[in-house]
Amino acid sequence: MSETALITGASKGIGREFAVLFAERKCDLVLVARSADQLEELKEALSEKHGVHVHTIVKDLAAPNAVNELFREVKALGVDVDYVVNNAGFGDHGAFVDTQWERYEEMIALNVEVLTHLSHLYARDWAGRKRGRIVNISSTAAFQPGPMMAVYFATKAYVLHLSEALNHELRREGITVTTLCPGPTRTHFLEDSGMKAARLVKNVKVATPRAVAKLGFKAMMKGKPVAIHGAMNKVAPFAIRFLPRKWVTRLSAKVMGRSKEFL
Q: Fill in the per-residue mask, 109 to 128: x = in contact with ligand NAP (CB under 6 A), - = not in contact.
A: -x------------------
Q: How far is CA 199 from the centre of its chain?
A: 23
User: Which residues have a Cβ under 8 Å from the Cβ of 207 and sit 6 or more positions away?
Assistant: 182, 183, 184, 185, 186, 229, 230
127 vs 232 by CB, closer to ligand NAP: 232
Supply the minimum distance, in Å, between the C-beta of residue 129 and ligand NAP: 27
Does 40 participate in binding ligand NAP (rule CB under 6 A)? no
Collect all residues with Cβ–Cβ distance below 8 Å to 124 and sequence separation of at least 6: none
Question: Judged by CB under 6 A, does residue 42 bind ligand NAP?
Answer: no
Establish how many alpha carbons lie within 13 A of residue 253's alpha carbon, considering only the half-sphere containing its beta carbon. 9
What angle is formed at CA 106 by the lines to CA 100 and CA 111, rounded to 5 degrees? 125
The residue among 247 and 262 lying less far from ligand NAP, judged by its C-beta, is: 262
Asked if 29 is part of the footprint of ligand NAP (rule: CB under 6 A), the reply reads no
Distances (CA, A) of 84 to 17, 70, 233, 252: 14, 13, 25, 31
Draw the binding track, 75-114, toward ligand NAP (x: CB under 6 A; -: no contact): ------------xxxxx------------------x----
Query: For ligand NAP, which residue has the nearest CB?
Result: 13
Site for ligand NAP in 129-148 (CB under 6 A): 137, 139
Considering only 4, 15, 21, 163, the residue that binds ligand NAP (CB under 6 A) is 15
**Polymer length in residues for the chain:** 263
Closer CB to ligand NAP, 173 or 259, in the complex: 259
State in angstroms the smallest separation of the CB of 108 from ligand NAP: 12
Q: How far apart are CA 34 and CA 8, in angstroms?
A: 10
User: In this chain, which stretch among 6-14, 77-85, 124-132, 232-240 interacts with ligand NAP, using CB under 6 A?
Assistant: 6-14
Distance CA 162, CA 183 (A): 19
Site for ligand NAP in 223-262 (CB under 6 A): none
In sequence order, which residues have a C-beta less than 8 Å from that of residue 256 and are 6 or more positions away? 93, 146, 147, 148, 149, 198, 199, 200
Task: Report helix, strand and coil shares of the chain as percent, to nearest 5.
Answer: 55, 15, 30
User: By CB under 6 A, is residue 187 in contact with ligand NAP?
Assistant: yes
State yes or no: residue 61 binds ligand NAP (CB under 6 A): yes
- For ligand NAP, give the closer residue by CB, 103 or 250: 103
| Residue 189 touches ligand NAP, criterion: CB under 6 A | yes
Which residues contribute to the site for ligand NAP (CB under 6 A)? 9-15, 33-35, 38, 60-62, 87-91, 110, 137, 139, 182, 184-185, 187-190, 192, 209
